[in-house]
Amino acid sequence: MAAFGDLSSRLTETFKNLRTKGKLSAADVDGTVREIRRALLDADVALEVVKAFTAKVRERALGDEVNKALNPAQQVVQIVNEELVGILGGEQRKLQFAKTPPTVIMLAGLQGSGKTTFAGKLAKKLQKDGHTPLLVAADLQRPNAVNQLQVVAEQADASIFAPEPGNGVGDPIAVSKAGVEHAKQKQYDTVIIDTAGRLGIDEELMRQASNIRTATRPDEVLFVIDSMIGQDAANTAKAFLEGVDFTGVVLSKLDGDTRGGAALSVASLTQRPIVFASTGEGLDDLEDFHPDRMASRILDLGDILTLIEQAQQNFDEEEARKVAEKLATDAFTLDDFLEQMQQLKKMGSMKKMLGMLPGMGGQMKQQLDNFDDSEIGRTEAIIRSMTPAERHNTKVLNGSRRARIARGSGVTVTEVNQLVNRFEQAAKMMKKVARGESAGIPGMGAMPGMKPGASSKRKKVKKAGGPPQKRSGNPAKRAQQGDDAPVTASGSGFGLGGGAPQASEAELAEIQKLFGKN
């Protein structure tokens, strides 16, 4: 996640120095804690949070749990991880719904924090979960705030209650109460009240927000805070806690170029849980906040669970089975590849997904920063510029066809050639993986639904009961042996034997290139 990029890099670099230590001395621990303190302060984490955090880490790192550990360095990383989870809230906190609908959710925060956009995101998320939300336009002060909420509601395909034009006209307290009554009459099960903000904290803002809370008696008051405001996050959160009080926190703009300290400071200082994290500009870019997963991202340990959940939400299982079957034959085409790209795009930014893999934030930060999601769009344009026959069989793509495709997609012929070459090479590689003849992961057999070694011709031997014939490393001799010459099976990565040989790095790179830069 971009918001914690620098902090993650600093911490992983600090822990890297510990791996060479067989046993940690007090000086090693003090040096590590000092680097952690610097990294947190540079990330705009509040000073009092940094002091408390590093004191706990130092105390535990010098304790028996590390001294008796087989790997002290790993134990220190585990301690830091656990303490990060603690200051981020400990456990996931979900929205609390009223026993008798409608559930009233009031949004509070400064102007520009992202309240209105979050209202639309929350409405869309609730609809996916089977709820019927109603947006209430109670921000009647900011110019065009009501119009903005109407646009967001339309994009989210959500209902809106906006009886007043805003721009200084109308009573926000009366509108809020009327909105709740309207929801009861029309049987909406959730009400989301978008309240007014200010450029700074003032008494009028707090009084108005407090009055709306008293009038509507919300089940949840969510404080929306811009993750990019740094040290001011702590003071703003404290002011809203005292003036209005809130039940949960929403971190907006967590995908921005920020140091991310707001998340750590707000959760720790207010003792209020972070409920949601807004991770992009799209209405689908809203995540439930999991303290343990966020801590893993900060420490560059990855967030595989979130990645899996996103895949499950966006990938069709039946479609995946059909693709697996096509991969084992010669039926996988550019049309199939285009469909897979469409499903990947539903999951959001490829850069963001890659960043959830362990080690990607630190070891491959520069490659991730250089990754251009727009390349996927160019690849898609090239494929869409082909005829159905060309997508089905790339062998028919002669020079004139490739020139026409380049003109139609706004790219060069070289880029078309690169895509076709990479697709053909990657398709061969994926075909091997699907058949269980080659695997990128140790011990991985055929794809689900496919029998290992589906191509039985490749399993022939010279004589019955004889050893498998090895293929020559000389290209000329290998050509004489023919395609039926088998590949000697190597043991699996788990020592079970009979596994498939490993794919080379070059072969795997071809698959990865299809989603990277041309």
Give the pLDDT confidence score for residue 65 in this predicted structure: 67
197 a known binding residue?
Answer: yes
pLDDT tens per residue across all 518 residues of the chain: 444 556 767 777 777 777 666 677 788 888 888 888 888 888 878 888 889 999 998 888 888 766 565 576 777 888 888 888 888 888 888 999 999 999 999 999 888 888 999 999 999 999 999 999 999 999 998 889 999 999 999 999 999 999 999 888 999 999 999 999 999 999 999 999 999 887 777 788 888 899 999 999 999 999 998 877 766 777 888 888 888 889 999 988 876 545 567 767 888 888 899 999 888 788 988 989 888 888 777 776 654 455 555 555 555 566 656 656 665 566 678 887 787 777 666 665 555 555 555 554 444 555 555 555 667 778 888 999 999 999 888 889 999 999 999 999 898 999 999 888 888 887 777 666 655 554 443 333 333 333 444 443 444 444 444 444 544 444 444 444 444 444 333 333 222 333 333 445 554 455 455 544 44
330 a known binding residue?
Answer: no
115 a known binding residue?
Answer: yes
Within 13 A of 221's CA, how many CA atoms are on the CB side?
A: 21
Chain length of the chain: 518
124 and 256 together in one domain: yes
253 and 340 together in one domain: no
260 and 402 together in one domain: no
184 and 79 together in one domain: no
The number of domains in the chain is 3
Give the pLDDT confidence score for residue 503 in this predicted structure: 45
40 a known binding residue?
Answer: no
* CATH value at residue 316: 1.10.260.30
Give the pLDDT confidence score for residue 353 in this predicted structure: 58
* Sheet of strand 103-108, all strands in order from the earlier edge strand to the far edge: 159-161, 133-137, 190-194, 103-108, 220-226, 248-252, 274-278, 286-288
8 A C-beta contact, residue 256 and residue 3: yes
Q: Which amino acid is at 428?
A: K
8 A C-beta contact, residue 118 and residue 106: no
Please state, in angstroms and rounded to a whole number, the distance separating the CA atoms of residues 85 and 295: 6
* CATH value at residue 146: 3.40.50.300
Mark which of 257, 291, 325 sits at the end of a domain.
291
Domain membership of residue 510 (yes or no) is no
179 a known binding residue?
Answer: no
Closest by alpha carbon to 197, among 189, 188, 206? 206
Domain membership of residue 485 (yes or no) is no
200 a known binding residue?
Answer: no
Give the pLDDT confidence score for residue 502 in this predicted structure: 43
- 3 state DSSP class of 449: coil
Please state, in angstroms and rounded to a whole number, the distance separating the CA atoms of residues 423 and 380: 13
241 and 326 together in one domain: no
19 a known binding residue?
Answer: no
Domain membership of residue 508 (yes or no) is no
Please give the DSSP secondary-structure letter assigned to residue 259. -
The 3-state DSSP composition of the chain as helix, strand, coil percent (nearest 5) reads: 55, 10, 40
261 a known binding residue?
Answer: no
Domain membership of residue 174 (yes or no) is yes
Provide the H-helix boundaries in 62-196: 64-67, 72-87, 115-128, 145-156, 172-186
Q: Backbone phi, then psi, for 108, in 5-degree steps?
A: -135, 155
Mark which of 259, 291, 323 sits at the end of a domain.
291
268 a known binding residue?
Answer: no
114 a known binding residue?
Answer: yes
367 and 277 together in one domain: no
* CATH value at residue 40: 1.20.120.140
Give the list of residues 6+ apart from residue 395 with CB closer than 8 angstroms, or none: none
194 a known binding residue?
Answer: yes
138 and 247 together in one domain: yes
Domain membership of residue 284 (yes or no) is yes
Please state, in angstroms and rounded to a whole number, the distance separating the CA atoms of residues 225 and 250: 6
426 and 334 together in one domain: yes
176 and 74 together in one domain: no
8 A C-beta contact, residue 50 and residue 37: yes
Give the pLDDT confidence score for residue 199 in this predicted structure: 72
- Residue 84 burial (C-beta neighbours within 10 Å; 0-12, 13-18, 19+): buried
Domain membership of residue 376 (yes or no) is yes
Please state, in angstroms and rounded to a whole number, the distance separating the CA atoms of residues 75 and 131: 44
Q: Which amino acid is at 318?
A: E
- Here the tokens at position 226 are 């811009």
Mark which of 401, 432, 452 sits at the end of a domain.
452
385 and 277 together in one domain: no
326 and 442 together in one domain: yes
Whole-Å CA distances, 142 to 139, 146, 149, 174, 198: 7, 8, 12, 17, 8
Following DSSP, what letter does each residue of 3-53 receive, concatenated? GGHHHHHHHHHHHHTTTT-SS--HHHHHHHHHHHHHHHHHTT--HHHHHHH
Domain membership of residue 475 (yes or no) is no
8 A C-beta contact, residue 260 and residue 84: no
Domain membership of residue 46 (yes or no) is yes
112 and 205 together in one domain: yes
Closest by alpha carbon to 41, among 231, 227, 229? 231
Closest by alpha carbon to 268, among 91, 93, 87, 92? 87
- Kindly report whether the global pTM for this prediction surpasses the value 0.75: no
Give the pLDDT confidence score for residue 137 in this predicted structure: 95
8 A C-beta contact, residue 420 and residue 514: no
Q: Which domain holds residue 396?
A: 312-452
Q: Match 């540079």 to its residue by tokens.
A: 42
